[in-house]
Amino acid sequence: MKLILFDVDGTLLRCGVQVRDLFTGALTEVFGGHAPVDGFRFAGKTDPQIVLELVRPLGLDDGAILARLPEMREAYRRRLAAGLERDRMELLPGVVPLLERLAERDDVAIGLLTGNWQATAQVKLGRFDLDRFFPFGAFGDDGVDRRQLAPVALDRAAATTGRRFAPADALIIGDSHRDVDCARAAGIPSLAVATGFATPGALARAGADWVYPDLERAAREHPLLAA
């Protein structure tokens, strides 16, 4: 039995530029402003980490920012739920057939490992009815540093499936060097897809165990996914 943990943005779907405006709108609502986002790299960071990095320059200390995270999460969730347009999003190649096949297999369990807050991941996934595939996950609610999320995902998998997975029996699938770093820190193998902002070369240099152009190719060629 294997455990497969999926990232969301750049791995299963892309929200496009609209999500940046929804996020910064919530920052302005809650904190009164934010640092410039031109050139800011969101990829692979947890939502709380993004909030900290964009709000610290306003002069607030981390304690003050963290205290208002629940308010920020709710403001962002509300804006996403009302404003995230499916037509401006992209469901990435091979995702639905792969998840459908994995859901039917009794030798794998699948979950999420994403920097999104749980409530906002649900909105994004819900636009393509993908949330039905993921009975558990680790989220931005569980830590500021993505590395904190892998042990949480293993615990949630155990709680949900009744089985404790060794790191070597898990696989983290993501699109950024931070997904790879999170996997390596936990001793979990990583599969990287170049459907986000990172190139295949950068993902290989980050130490990904497998790199594919997209999940469609991974589904055909990766030994566990293609089994």
Using rule CB under 5 A, residue 140 touches Mg ion? no
Q: Which of 2, 4, 5, 9 binds Mg ion (CB under 5 A)?
A: 9
For the bound state, the minimum distance from the C-beta of residue 110 to Mg ion, rounded and expressed in Å, comes to: 16
Q: Is 6 exposed, middle or buried (0-12, 13-18, 19+ CB in 10 A)?
A: buried
Interface segment toward Mg ion; rule CB under 5 A; list 80-88, 127-135, 153-161, 175-183: 175-183
Using rule CB under 5 A, residue 10 touches Mg ion? yes
For the bound state, the minimum distance from the C-beta of residue 22 to Mg ion, rounded and expressed in Å, comes to: 17
CA 33 → CA 30, 39, 81, 113, 192, distances in Å? 8, 17, 21, 29, 34
For the bound state, the minimum distance from the C-beta of residue 44 to Mg ion, rounded and expressed in Å, comes to: 6
Interface segment toward Mg ion; rule CB under 5 A; list 58-66, 94-102, 172-180, 204-212: 172-180
What DSSP letter does each residue of 136-180 carry, written as one string?
-EE-GGG-SSGGGHHHHHHHHHHHHHS----GGGEEEEESSHHHH
> What backbone phi and psi angles, to 5 degrees, belong to 2?
-120, 155
Total residues contacting Mg ion (rule CB under 5 A)?
4
Q: Which of 141, 142, 175, 181 binds Mg ion (CB under 5 A)?
A: 175
DSSP H/E element including 6: strand 2-6
List of residues contacting Mg ion (CB under 5 A): 7, 9-10, 175
